[in-house]
Chains A and B, each alone.
Chain A
Amino acid sequence: MDAILFLLFAAIAVVCGINVVVQTHPISSALSLVGVMGSLAALYLLLGGEFIAAAQLIVYAGAIMVLFIFVIMLLNAGKEKKLPRRLWVKFAGIPLLAIFIGIVAFVIQRMLPVTEGVKFGAMTHGNPQELGRALFNVYVLPFEVTSVLILIAILGAVVLASKEIE
Protein backbone atom coordinates (compact mmCIF):
# COMPACT_ATOMS: atom_id res chain seq x y z
CA MET A 1 0.00 0.00 0.00
CA ASP A 2 2.79 2.43 0.98
CA ALA A 3 4.77 1.53 -2.13
CA ILE A 4 1.75 2.07 -4.38
CA LEU A 5 1.04 5.47 -2.81
CA PHE A 6 4.70 6.41 -3.05
CA LEU A 7 4.82 5.53 -6.76
CA LEU A 8 1.57 7.41 -7.38
CA PHE A 9 2.68 10.62 -5.70
CA ALA A 10 6.22 10.39 -7.06
CA ALA A 11 4.79 10.05 -10.57
CA ILE A 12 2.47 13.03 -9.98
CA ALA A 13 5.39 15.10 -8.67
CA VAL A 14 7.60 14.28 -11.67
CA VAL A 15 4.83 14.83 -14.24
CA CYS A 16 3.88 18.16 -12.64
CA GLY A 17 7.54 19.14 -12.48
CA ILE A 18 7.98 18.51 -16.22
CA ASN A 19 4.73 20.34 -16.83
CA VAL A 20 6.07 23.46 -15.09
CA VAL A 21 8.71 23.72 -17.84
CA VAL A 22 6.61 22.55 -20.78
CA GLN A 23 3.58 24.81 -20.26
CA THR A 24 3.69 28.14 -22.07
CA HIS A 25 1.24 30.01 -19.88
CA PRO A 26 2.60 31.25 -16.51
CA ILE A 27 -0.63 30.34 -14.65
CA SER A 28 -0.44 26.73 -15.90
CA SER A 29 3.20 26.52 -14.83
CA ALA A 30 2.48 27.96 -11.40
CA LEU A 31 -0.40 25.54 -10.86
CA SER A 32 1.80 22.61 -11.87
CA LEU A 33 4.26 23.80 -9.24
CA VAL A 34 1.40 23.67 -6.73
CA GLY A 35 0.89 20.04 -7.80
CA VAL A 36 4.60 19.34 -7.13
CA MET A 37 4.34 20.92 -3.67
CA GLY A 38 1.18 18.97 -2.85
CA SER A 39 2.63 15.60 -3.87
CA LEU A 40 5.84 16.38 -1.95
CA ALA A 41 3.67 16.95 1.12
CA ALA A 42 2.09 13.53 0.52
CA LEU A 43 5.58 11.97 0.27
CA TYR A 44 6.61 13.55 3.59
CA LEU A 45 3.44 12.13 5.08
CA LEU A 46 4.33 8.65 3.81
CA LEU A 47 7.74 8.91 5.48
CA GLY A 48 6.10 9.81 8.80
CA GLY A 49 6.84 13.54 8.95
CA GLU A 50 3.29 14.78 9.58
CA PHE A 51 4.27 18.23 10.77
CA ILE A 52 6.65 18.81 7.85
CA ALA A 53 3.93 17.69 5.45
CA ALA A 54 1.42 20.12 6.94
CA ALA A 55 3.97 22.94 6.93
CA GLN A 56 4.80 22.20 3.29
CA LEU A 57 1.11 22.38 2.39
CA ILE A 58 0.43 25.57 4.38
CA VAL A 59 3.59 27.51 3.52
CA TYR A 60 4.39 26.49 -0.04
CA ALA A 61 1.11 25.36 -1.59
CA GLY A 62 -1.10 27.64 0.51
CA ALA A 63 0.85 30.89 0.86
CA ILE A 64 3.83 31.26 -1.47
CA MET A 65 2.19 29.84 -4.59
CA VAL A 66 -0.96 31.89 -3.99
CA LEU A 67 1.27 34.97 -3.99
CA PHE A 68 2.85 33.79 -7.27
CA ILE A 69 -0.56 33.37 -8.87
CA PHE A 70 -1.69 36.68 -7.40
CA VAL A 71 1.23 38.48 -9.03
CA ILE A 72 0.71 36.70 -12.36
CA MET A 73 -2.96 37.68 -12.31
CA LEU A 74 -2.15 41.25 -11.28
CA LEU A 75 0.35 41.71 -14.13
CA ASN A 76 -2.01 39.82 -16.44
CA ALA A 77 0.98 37.99 -17.95
CA GLY A 78 0.13 36.33 -21.25
CA LYS A 79 1.49 33.28 -23.01
CA GLU A 80 5.22 33.26 -23.59
CA LYS A 81 6.38 33.38 -27.19
CA LYS A 82 8.39 30.47 -28.50
CA LEU A 83 11.40 31.33 -30.61
CA PRO A 84 12.61 28.75 -33.14
CA ARG A 85 15.47 26.75 -31.62
CA ARG A 86 18.88 26.30 -33.12
CA LEU A 87 19.61 22.98 -34.78
CA TRP A 88 22.37 21.78 -32.41
CA VAL A 89 20.16 22.60 -29.37
CA LYS A 90 17.42 20.37 -30.75
CA PHE A 91 19.69 17.37 -31.22
CA ALA A 92 22.23 17.71 -28.42
CA GLY A 93 19.80 18.86 -25.70
CA ILE A 94 18.47 15.56 -24.43
CA PRO A 95 21.80 13.64 -24.46
CA LEU A 96 23.53 16.53 -22.66
CA LEU A 97 20.74 16.62 -20.07
CA ALA A 98 21.10 12.87 -19.49
CA ILE A 99 24.87 13.24 -19.03
CA PHE A 100 24.40 16.11 -16.59
CA ILE A 101 21.87 14.19 -14.47
CA GLY A 102 24.20 11.19 -14.52
CA ILE A 103 27.14 13.25 -13.23
CA VAL A 104 25.04 14.81 -10.47
CA ALA A 105 23.74 11.38 -9.40
CA PHE A 106 27.27 9.96 -9.41
CA VAL A 107 28.65 12.80 -7.27
CA ILE A 108 25.80 12.52 -4.77
CA GLN A 109 26.31 8.77 -4.51
CA ARG A 110 30.05 9.27 -3.89
CA MET A 111 29.56 12.03 -1.31
CA LEU A 112 26.67 10.45 0.55
CA PRO A 113 27.00 6.68 0.33
CA VAL A 114 23.77 4.78 1.10
CA THR A 115 24.04 3.21 4.54
CA GLU A 116 20.51 1.86 4.91
CA GLY A 117 17.31 1.95 2.91
CA VAL A 118 14.60 4.50 3.60
CA LYS A 119 11.55 2.99 5.28
CA PHE A 120 7.99 4.27 5.16
CA GLY A 121 6.91 5.85 8.42
CA ALA A 122 10.45 5.56 9.80
CA MET A 123 10.74 9.21 10.78
CA THR A 124 9.75 9.36 14.44
CA HIS A 125 11.40 12.62 15.48
CA GLY A 126 9.19 14.83 13.35
CA ASN A 127 6.56 15.89 15.87
CA PRO A 128 6.17 19.63 16.62
CA GLN A 129 7.63 19.44 20.14
CA GLU A 130 10.91 17.87 19.07
CA LEU A 131 11.14 20.09 16.01
CA GLY A 132 10.64 23.20 18.13
CA ARG A 133 13.17 22.01 20.69
CA ALA A 134 15.74 21.37 17.96
CA LEU A 135 15.11 24.76 16.32
CA PHE A 136 15.43 26.75 19.55
CA ASN A 137 18.23 24.76 21.22
CA VAL A 138 20.65 23.03 18.88
CA TYR A 139 20.09 25.04 15.71
CA VAL A 140 19.18 28.37 17.26
CA LEU A 141 22.04 30.28 15.61
CA PRO A 142 21.35 29.17 11.98
CA PHE A 143 17.64 29.70 12.62
CA GLU A 144 18.06 33.26 13.86
CA VAL A 145 20.60 34.10 11.15
CA THR A 146 18.14 32.90 8.51
CA SER A 147 15.38 35.06 9.98
CA VAL A 148 17.66 38.11 9.94
CA LEU A 149 18.54 37.32 6.33
CA ILE A 150 14.85 37.21 5.38
CA LEU A 151 14.27 40.47 7.30
CA ILE A 152 17.06 42.12 5.30
CA ALA A 153 15.47 40.86 2.09
CA ILE A 154 12.10 42.38 3.12
CA LEU A 155 13.74 45.71 3.98
CA GLY A 156 15.57 45.70 0.67
CA ALA A 157 12.32 45.06 -1.20
CA VAL A 158 10.60 47.90 0.66
CA VAL A 159 13.46 50.32 -0.10
CA LEU A 160 13.47 49.40 -3.78
CA ALA A 161 9.68 49.73 -4.01
CA SER A 162 9.61 53.13 -2.26
CA LYS A 163 12.24 54.49 -4.68
CA GLU A 164 10.00 53.43 -7.54
CA ILE A 165 7.06 55.39 -6.07
CA GLU A 166 9.03 58.63 -5.61
Chain B
Amino acid sequence: MNFFIVSLIKSALVAFVLLTALAYIQWVERKVLAHIQLRIGPRRVGPHGLLQPLADVIKLLTKEDMLPSHVNKFFYFLAPFIAVMFALISIAVIPFGTEVKIGSFSTPMQLTDLNIGVLFILGLSGVGVYGVALAGWASNNKYSLIGGLRSSAQMISYELPMAMAIAAPLLMLNSLSFRELVDGQGGFYFGLIPRWAIFQGPFPQILSFGIFMIAAFAETNRVPFDLPEAENELVAGFHTEYGSMKFAAFFMAEYCNMVTVSCVGALLFLGGWQPLWPAEYGSQFVPTLVFAISGLICLYHGFHPARPFDRFTLPVFGVVFLGIAAIFLVPIVATILLPLFWFLAKVSIILFIYIWIRGTLPRFRYDQLMNFAWTVLFPVAIVNLFVTALMVALTSK
Protein backbone atom coordinates (compact mmCIF):
# COMPACT_ATOMS: atom_id res chain seq x y z
CA MET B 1 0.00 0.00 0.00
CA ASN B 2 2.91 2.28 0.82
CA PHE B 3 4.11 1.90 -2.76
CA PHE B 4 0.75 3.06 -4.13
CA ILE B 5 0.61 6.14 -1.92
CA VAL B 6 4.20 7.14 -2.72
CA SER B 7 3.64 6.60 -6.45
CA LEU B 8 0.43 8.61 -6.32
CA ILE B 9 2.12 11.54 -4.59
CA LYS B 10 5.07 11.42 -6.99
CA SER B 11 2.81 11.23 -10.06
CA ALA B 12 0.73 14.18 -8.86
CA LEU B 13 3.87 16.21 -8.18
CA VAL B 14 5.50 15.38 -11.53
CA ALA B 15 2.29 16.04 -13.46
CA PHE B 16 1.78 19.41 -11.72
CA VAL B 17 5.38 20.53 -12.23
CA LEU B 18 5.46 19.30 -15.84
CA LEU B 19 2.22 21.03 -16.86
CA THR B 20 3.26 24.28 -15.15
CA ALA B 21 6.68 24.05 -16.77
CA LEU B 22 5.09 23.53 -20.19
CA ALA B 23 3.11 26.74 -19.79
CA TYR B 24 6.14 28.70 -18.59
CA ILE B 25 8.52 27.37 -21.25
CA GLN B 26 6.22 29.12 -23.67
CA TRP B 27 6.54 32.34 -21.67
CA VAL B 28 10.34 31.97 -21.65
CA GLU B 29 10.28 31.31 -25.40
CA ARG B 30 8.26 34.43 -26.10
CA LYS B 31 10.51 36.52 -23.87
CA VAL B 32 13.77 35.19 -25.34
CA LEU B 33 12.51 35.49 -28.92
CA ALA B 34 11.38 39.02 -28.18
CA HIS B 35 14.80 40.00 -26.85
CA ILE B 36 16.52 38.36 -29.84
CA GLN B 37 14.32 40.53 -32.08
CA LEU B 38 14.87 43.65 -29.91
CA ARG B 39 11.34 43.69 -28.50
CA ILE B 40 10.17 43.45 -24.90
CA GLY B 41 7.78 40.54 -25.17
CA PRO B 42 4.69 39.90 -23.02
CA ARG B 43 4.49 42.25 -20.03
CA ARG B 44 0.82 43.26 -19.75
CA VAL B 45 -0.55 40.38 -17.65
CA GLY B 46 1.11 40.34 -14.26
CA PRO B 47 4.64 41.61 -13.51
CA HIS B 48 6.87 41.05 -16.58
CA GLY B 49 4.03 39.10 -18.18
CA LEU B 50 4.45 36.26 -15.69
CA LEU B 51 0.72 35.55 -15.59
CA GLN B 52 0.52 35.41 -19.41
CA PRO B 53 0.51 31.54 -19.47
CA LEU B 54 -2.45 31.55 -17.07
CA ALA B 55 -4.28 34.06 -19.28
CA ASP B 56 -3.55 31.89 -22.33
CA VAL B 57 -4.91 28.81 -20.60
CA ILE B 58 -8.11 30.63 -19.62
CA LYS B 59 -8.46 31.96 -23.17
CA LEU B 60 -8.05 28.50 -24.70
CA LEU B 61 -10.44 26.90 -22.21
CA THR B 62 -13.22 29.41 -22.71
CA LYS B 63 -13.02 29.64 -26.50
CA GLU B 64 -15.87 28.17 -28.46
CA ASP B 65 -15.17 24.55 -29.38
CA MET B 66 -15.75 24.64 -33.13
CA LEU B 67 -16.38 21.47 -35.11
CA PRO B 68 -15.88 22.00 -38.85
CA SER B 69 -18.61 20.28 -40.85
CA HIS B 70 -16.30 18.56 -43.35
CA VAL B 71 -14.09 16.58 -40.96
CA ASN B 72 -14.02 12.89 -40.10
CA LYS B 73 -15.38 13.31 -36.58
CA PHE B 74 -13.93 10.24 -34.84
CA PHE B 75 -10.34 10.71 -36.03
CA TYR B 76 -10.61 14.47 -35.72
CA PHE B 77 -11.20 14.09 -31.98
CA LEU B 78 -8.82 11.14 -31.59
CA ALA B 79 -5.77 12.89 -33.10
CA PRO B 80 -5.07 15.58 -30.46
CA PHE B 81 -5.78 13.01 -27.76
CA ILE B 82 -3.15 10.61 -29.16
CA ALA B 83 -0.63 13.40 -29.64
CA VAL B 84 -0.85 14.76 -26.11
CA MET B 85 -1.20 11.36 -24.39
CA PHE B 86 1.96 9.79 -25.81
CA ALA B 87 3.86 13.03 -25.28
CA LEU B 88 2.92 13.20 -21.59
CA ILE B 89 3.44 9.49 -20.80
CA SER B 90 7.12 9.56 -21.71
CA ILE B 91 8.01 11.68 -18.67
CA ALA B 92 7.28 8.57 -16.52
CA VAL B 93 10.66 6.95 -17.18
CA ILE B 94 12.81 10.10 -16.91
CA PRO B 95 14.89 10.25 -13.69
CA PHE B 96 15.37 13.75 -12.26
CA GLY B 97 17.96 13.07 -9.59
CA THR B 98 19.40 10.50 -7.24
CA GLU B 99 16.90 9.87 -4.46
CA VAL B 100 14.93 11.57 -1.70
CA LYS B 101 15.78 10.41 1.83
CA ILE B 102 13.60 11.40 4.78
CA GLY B 103 14.69 9.48 7.86
CA SER B 104 14.57 5.78 7.05
CA PHE B 105 12.30 6.35 4.06
CA SER B 106 13.88 6.78 0.62
CA THR B 107 12.49 6.87 -2.89
CA PRO B 108 14.17 7.52 -6.26
CA MET B 109 13.44 10.82 -8.02
CA GLN B 110 11.71 9.06 -10.89
CA LEU B 111 8.25 7.65 -11.47
CA THR B 112 9.44 4.25 -12.66
CA ASP B 113 12.86 2.86 -13.52
CA LEU B 114 12.19 0.62 -16.53
CA ASN B 115 15.07 -1.60 -17.63
CA ILE B 116 14.13 -0.66 -21.21
CA GLY B 117 13.60 3.05 -20.49
CA VAL B 118 15.41 4.29 -23.59
CA LEU B 119 13.48 1.94 -25.90
CA PHE B 120 10.23 2.97 -24.19
CA ILE B 121 10.87 6.62 -25.10
CA LEU B 122 11.79 5.68 -28.68
CA GLY B 123 8.62 3.58 -29.00
CA LEU B 124 6.40 6.37 -27.68
CA SER B 125 7.97 8.95 -29.98
CA GLY B 126 7.31 6.57 -32.89
CA VAL B 127 3.66 6.08 -31.96
CA GLY B 128 3.23 9.82 -31.36
CA VAL B 129 3.50 10.40 -35.12
CA TYR B 130 -0.07 9.11 -35.48
CA GLY B 131 -1.45 12.16 -33.71
CA VAL B 132 0.00 14.53 -36.31
CA ALA B 133 -0.64 12.27 -39.32
CA LEU B 134 -4.26 11.62 -38.34
CA ALA B 135 -4.92 15.27 -37.57
CA GLY B 136 -3.78 16.17 -41.06
CA TRP B 137 -5.88 13.49 -42.69
CA ALA B 138 -9.06 13.80 -40.61
CA SER B 139 -9.26 17.58 -41.11
CA ASN B 140 -10.12 16.97 -44.76
CA ASN B 141 -8.25 20.08 -45.82
CA LYS B 142 -5.44 20.23 -48.37
CA TYR B 143 -3.14 22.31 -46.18
CA SER B 144 -3.68 19.99 -43.22
CA LEU B 145 -3.11 16.91 -45.35
CA ILE B 146 0.17 18.23 -46.77
CA GLY B 147 1.23 19.19 -43.25
CA GLY B 148 0.41 15.73 -41.94
CA LEU B 149 2.19 14.01 -44.83
CA ARG B 150 5.29 16.16 -44.46
CA SER B 151 5.34 15.55 -40.76
CA SER B 152 5.06 11.77 -40.95
CA ALA B 153 7.71 11.52 -43.69
CA GLN B 154 10.01 13.80 -41.73
CA MET B 155 9.54 11.97 -38.45
CA ILE B 156 10.11 8.53 -40.00
CA SER B 157 13.26 9.77 -41.75
CA TYR B 158 14.79 11.45 -38.73
CA GLU B 159 13.91 8.66 -36.33
CA LEU B 160 16.61 6.48 -37.92
CA PRO B 161 19.63 8.77 -37.37
CA MET B 162 18.24 9.63 -33.93
CA ALA B 163 18.01 5.98 -32.89
CA MET B 164 21.51 5.34 -34.22
CA ALA B 165 22.89 8.35 -32.39
CA ILE B 166 21.24 7.09 -29.18
CA ALA B 167 22.63 3.57 -29.73
CA ALA B 168 26.26 4.73 -29.65
CA PRO B 169 26.36 5.87 -25.98
CA LEU B 170 24.25 2.85 -25.04
CA LEU B 171 27.02 0.63 -26.47
CA MET B 172 29.61 2.37 -24.32
CA LEU B 173 27.60 2.46 -21.11
CA ASN B 174 26.12 -1.01 -21.65
CA SER B 175 22.60 -0.47 -20.30
CA LEU B 176 19.08 0.58 -21.33
CA SER B 177 17.93 1.97 -18.00
CA PHE B 178 18.32 5.74 -17.64
CA ARG B 179 19.45 5.48 -14.02
CA GLU B 180 22.23 3.00 -14.80
CA LEU B 181 23.25 5.09 -17.82
CA VAL B 182 23.71 8.16 -15.64
CA ASP B 183 25.55 6.16 -12.97
CA GLY B 184 27.90 4.95 -15.71
CA GLN B 185 28.82 8.57 -16.45
CA GLY B 186 29.89 9.41 -12.87
CA GLY B 187 33.46 10.17 -11.88
CA PHE B 188 36.22 12.26 -13.46
CA TYR B 189 39.30 11.80 -15.62
CA PHE B 190 42.45 13.19 -13.90
CA GLY B 191 40.10 14.33 -11.13
CA LEU B 192 38.85 17.16 -13.35
CA ILE B 193 37.25 16.21 -16.71
CA PRO B 194 33.79 14.65 -16.19
CA ARG B 195 33.18 11.16 -17.59
CA TRP B 196 30.00 12.27 -19.40
CA ALA B 197 29.29 10.34 -22.60
CA ILE B 198 30.41 13.28 -24.75
CA PHE B 199 33.86 13.19 -23.04
CA GLN B 200 34.08 9.51 -22.14
CA GLY B 201 36.56 7.07 -23.70
CA PRO B 202 37.11 5.01 -25.75
CA PHE B 203 35.26 7.18 -28.26
CA PRO B 204 33.84 10.53 -27.07
CA GLN B 205 30.26 10.87 -28.28
CA ILE B 206 30.36 14.52 -29.38
CA LEU B 207 29.43 13.56 -32.95
CA SER B 208 26.43 11.48 -31.92
CA PHE B 209 25.32 14.28 -29.58
CA GLY B 210 25.29 16.59 -32.60
CA ILE B 211 23.35 14.11 -34.70
CA PHE B 212 20.94 13.53 -31.84
CA MET B 213 20.27 17.25 -31.41
CA ILE B 214 19.67 17.81 -35.15
CA ALA B 215 17.35 14.81 -35.35
CA ALA B 216 15.60 15.93 -32.17
CA PHE B 217 14.79 19.29 -33.77
CA ALA B 218 13.20 17.46 -36.69
CA GLU B 219 11.36 14.98 -34.46
CA THR B 220 9.74 17.78 -32.47
CA ASN B 221 8.86 19.78 -35.63
CA ARG B 222 10.83 22.80 -34.50
CA VAL B 223 12.60 25.50 -36.53
CA PRO B 224 14.57 24.97 -38.79
CA PHE B 225 12.56 21.79 -39.51
CA ASP B 226 9.04 23.09 -38.81
CA LEU B 227 7.75 22.35 -42.30
CA PRO B 228 4.59 20.57 -41.07
CA GLU B 229 3.32 23.94 -39.86
CA ALA B 230 5.08 26.30 -42.26
CA GLU B 231 2.84 29.34 -41.90
CA ASN B 232 3.58 31.00 -45.22
CA GLU B 233 2.85 27.82 -47.21
CA LEU B 234 0.34 25.80 -45.22
CA VAL B 235 -1.62 28.30 -43.03
CA ALA B 236 -0.88 26.31 -39.86
CA GLY B 237 -0.19 22.84 -41.26
CA PHE B 238 -1.76 19.84 -39.62
CA HIS B 239 -3.59 21.83 -36.94
CA THR B 240 -5.21 24.38 -39.26
CA GLU B 241 -8.71 23.10 -38.47
CA TYR B 242 -8.21 22.83 -34.74
CA GLY B 243 -9.26 25.43 -32.17
CA SER B 244 -9.55 25.99 -28.42
CA MET B 245 -8.50 23.02 -26.24
CA LYS B 246 -7.86 20.69 -29.19
CA PHE B 247 -5.30 23.17 -30.51
CA ALA B 248 -3.92 23.49 -26.99
CA ALA B 249 -3.43 19.70 -26.91
CA PHE B 250 -1.15 19.84 -29.98
CA PHE B 251 0.64 22.81 -28.51
CA MET B 252 1.21 20.98 -25.22
CA ALA B 253 2.35 17.85 -27.07
CA GLU B 254 4.95 19.85 -28.99
CA TYR B 255 6.39 21.46 -25.88
CA CYS B 256 6.24 18.21 -23.93
CA ASN B 257 8.18 16.45 -26.68
CA MET B 258 10.75 19.23 -26.49
CA VAL B 259 11.12 18.69 -22.75
CA THR B 260 11.40 14.90 -23.13
CA VAL B 261 13.99 15.14 -25.88
CA SER B 262 16.02 17.64 -23.86
CA CYS B 263 15.86 15.30 -20.84
CA VAL B 264 17.02 12.35 -22.95
CA GLY B 265 19.87 14.43 -24.37
CA ALA B 266 20.95 15.53 -20.90
CA LEU B 267 20.72 11.99 -19.51
CA LEU B 268 22.45 10.14 -22.35
CA PHE B 269 25.14 12.59 -23.36
CA LEU B 270 25.59 15.24 -20.67
CA GLY B 271 25.79 12.95 -17.66
CA GLY B 272 22.34 13.60 -16.18
CA TRP B 273 22.85 14.93 -12.66
CA GLN B 274 26.65 14.43 -12.59
CA PRO B 275 28.30 17.81 -11.87
CA LEU B 276 30.61 19.56 -14.34
CA TRP B 277 33.62 19.39 -12.04
CA PRO B 278 34.30 17.52 -8.77
CA ALA B 279 33.05 18.65 -5.38
CA GLU B 280 36.67 19.13 -4.18
CA TYR B 281 36.86 22.19 -6.42
CA GLY B 282 33.59 23.51 -5.07
CA SER B 283 30.98 22.36 -7.58
CA GLN B 284 28.41 22.19 -4.77
CA PHE B 285 28.49 26.01 -4.47
CA VAL B 286 27.53 26.58 -8.12
CA PRO B 287 23.74 26.80 -7.52
CA THR B 288 24.26 29.16 -4.58
CA LEU B 289 26.54 31.34 -6.70
CA VAL B 290 24.22 31.36 -9.72
CA PHE B 291 21.13 32.26 -7.70
CA ALA B 292 22.99 34.79 -5.53
CA ILE B 293 24.34 36.62 -8.61
CA SER B 294 20.87 36.65 -10.23
CA GLY B 295 19.40 37.95 -6.97
CA LEU B 296 21.99 40.72 -6.68
CA ILE B 297 21.49 41.76 -10.32
CA CYS B 298 17.73 41.93 -9.72
CA LEU B 299 18.27 44.01 -6.57
CA TYR B 300 20.65 46.39 -8.38
CA HIS B 301 18.18 46.96 -11.21
CA GLY B 302 15.38 47.29 -8.68
CA PHE B 303 17.16 50.21 -7.06
CA HIS B 304 18.08 51.76 -10.43
CA PRO B 305 14.80 51.10 -12.25
CA ALA B 306 14.61 51.53 -16.04
CA ARG B 307 10.81 51.45 -15.89
CA PRO B 308 8.71 52.70 -12.97
CA PHE B 309 7.18 49.26 -12.33
CA ASP B 310 10.62 47.66 -11.77
CA ARG B 311 10.97 49.43 -8.42
CA PHE B 312 8.46 47.01 -6.88
CA THR B 313 8.87 43.76 -8.86
CA LEU B 314 12.64 43.36 -9.23
CA PRO B 315 13.53 43.60 -5.48
CA VAL B 316 10.93 40.87 -4.83
CA PHE B 317 12.58 38.60 -7.42
CA GLY B 318 15.99 39.46 -5.96
CA VAL B 319 14.93 38.43 -2.45
CA VAL B 320 13.39 35.19 -3.79
CA PHE B 321 16.60 34.30 -5.67
CA LEU B 322 18.74 35.06 -2.59
CA GLY B 323 16.41 32.83 -0.55
CA ILE B 324 16.88 29.96 -3.03
CA ALA B 325 20.64 30.55 -2.87
CA ALA B 326 20.46 30.25 0.93
CA ILE B 327 18.47 27.00 0.70
CA PHE B 328 21.31 25.37 -1.26
CA LEU B 329 23.64 26.08 1.69
CA VAL B 330 21.59 23.87 4.08
CA PRO B 331 23.47 20.54 3.96
CA ILE B 332 20.47 18.16 4.34
CA VAL B 333 18.39 19.82 1.63
CA ALA B 334 21.40 20.40 -0.62
CA THR B 335 22.13 16.67 -1.03
CA ILE B 336 18.65 16.25 -2.51
CA LEU B 337 18.57 19.46 -4.52
CA LEU B 338 22.11 19.45 -5.99
CA PRO B 339 21.54 16.57 -8.48
CA LEU B 340 18.17 18.10 -9.35
CA PHE B 341 19.86 21.45 -10.00
CA TRP B 342 22.51 19.98 -12.31
CA PHE B 343 19.94 17.97 -14.24
CA LEU B 344 17.53 20.88 -14.65
CA ALA B 345 20.39 23.20 -15.59
CA LYS B 346 21.43 20.90 -18.47
CA VAL B 347 17.82 20.47 -19.62
CA SER B 348 17.27 24.25 -19.50
CA ILE B 349 20.41 24.88 -21.55
CA ILE B 350 19.21 22.49 -24.26
CA LEU B 351 15.75 24.12 -24.18
CA PHE B 352 17.37 27.53 -24.47
CA ILE B 353 19.30 26.33 -27.53
CA TYR B 354 15.95 25.29 -29.03
CA ILE B 355 14.59 28.82 -28.60
CA TRP B 356 17.86 30.43 -29.66
CA ILE B 357 17.87 28.49 -32.94
CA ARG B 358 14.23 29.39 -33.52
CA GLY B 359 15.23 33.03 -33.29
CA THR B 360 18.24 32.58 -35.57
CA LEU B 361 17.78 30.11 -38.42
CA PRO B 362 15.44 30.19 -41.42
CA ARG B 363 13.34 27.18 -42.45
CA PHE B 364 14.67 24.38 -44.67
CA ARG B 365 13.13 23.64 -48.03
CA TYR B 366 11.41 20.27 -48.10
CA ASP B 367 13.76 18.48 -50.54
CA GLN B 368 16.76 19.88 -48.63
CA LEU B 369 15.30 18.44 -45.45
CA MET B 370 14.91 14.95 -46.89
CA ASN B 371 18.27 15.00 -48.69
CA PHE B 372 19.98 16.10 -45.52
CA ALA B 373 18.44 13.24 -43.51
CA TRP B 374 19.25 10.45 -45.95
CA THR B 375 22.50 11.57 -47.58
CA VAL B 376 24.27 13.33 -44.69
CA LEU B 377 22.86 12.55 -41.27
CA PHE B 378 22.15 8.85 -41.77
CA PRO B 379 25.58 7.85 -43.20
CA VAL B 380 27.38 9.90 -40.56
CA ALA B 381 25.32 8.21 -37.83
CA ILE B 382 26.14 4.74 -39.23
CA VAL B 383 29.87 5.50 -39.39
CA ASN B 384 29.76 6.93 -35.88
CA LEU B 385 27.98 3.84 -34.55
CA PHE B 386 30.45 1.57 -36.35
CA VAL B 387 33.52 3.35 -34.98
CA THR B 388 32.03 3.34 -31.47
CA ALA B 389 31.28 -0.38 -31.68
CA LEU B 390 34.81 -1.06 -32.94
CA MET B 391 36.41 0.97 -30.15
CA VAL B 392 34.22 -0.66 -27.50
CA ALA B 393 35.06 -4.12 -28.86
CA LEU B 394 38.79 -3.35 -28.92
CA THR B 395 38.97 -1.90 -25.42
CA SER B 396 36.57 -4.19 -23.55
CA LYS B 397 38.08 -7.07 -21.61
Contacts and interface: CB of A to CB of B under 8 A. Distances in A.
A50 B149 contact: no
Contacts of B153: 70
Interface string B31-71: 00000000000000000000000000000000000000000
A69 B152 contact: yes
Grouping DSSP codes into helix (H, G, I), strand (E, B) and loop, the A interface class, with mixed when no group exceeds half, is helix
A62 to B, nearest CB: 2
A67 B159 CA distance: 13
B119 A62 contact: no
B75 interface: yes
A12 interface: no
A122 to B, nearest CB: 17
A51 interface: yes
Interface residue tally of chain A, by bracket? 20 to 34
Given A34-B130, A62-B127, A63-B156, A73 B137 contact: yes
Nearest to A53: B116
Interface string B115-157: 1100110110111011001101100000001001100110110
Contacts of B122: 54, 58, 62
B293 to A, nearest CB: 44
Interface in B355-373: none
B145 A73 contact: yes
Given A51-B119, A54-B116, A128 B130 contact: no
A69 B149 contact: no
Nearest to B152: A70
A66 interface: yes
Contacts of A61: 123, 126-127
Grouping DSSP codes into helix (H, G, I), strand (E, B) and loop, the B interface class, with mixed when no group exceeds half, is helix
A57 B127 contact: yes
Contacts of B126: 57-58, 61-63, 66
A14 B133 CA distance: 25
A58 B118 CA distance: 11
Nearest to B75: A27
A63 B158 CA distance: 12
Most A C-beta atoms less than 10 A away, residue of B127, B133, B145, B155: B127
A55 interface: yes
Nearest to A66: B129
A31 B126 CA distance: 14
A57 B137 CA distance: 23
Contacts of B133: 66, 69-70, 73
Interface string B148-181: 1100110110010001000000000000100000
Most A C-beta atoms less than 10 A away, residue of B125, B137, B155, B163: B137
Contacts of B114: 50
19 contacts: A27-B75, A27-B137, A31-B134, A50-B114, A55-B119, A57-B119, A57-B123, A57-B126, A58-B122, A61-B126, A62-B126, A63-B159, A66-B129, A66-B133, A66-B152, A69-B137, A70-B153, A73-B137, A128-B176
Interface of B: 75, 114-116, 119-120, 122-123, 125-127, 129-130, 133-134, 136-137, 145, 148-149, 152-153, 155-156, 159, 163, 176
Given A61-B126, A76-B145, A127-B115, 4 more contacts: A31-B130, A54-B116, A70-B149, A73-B133
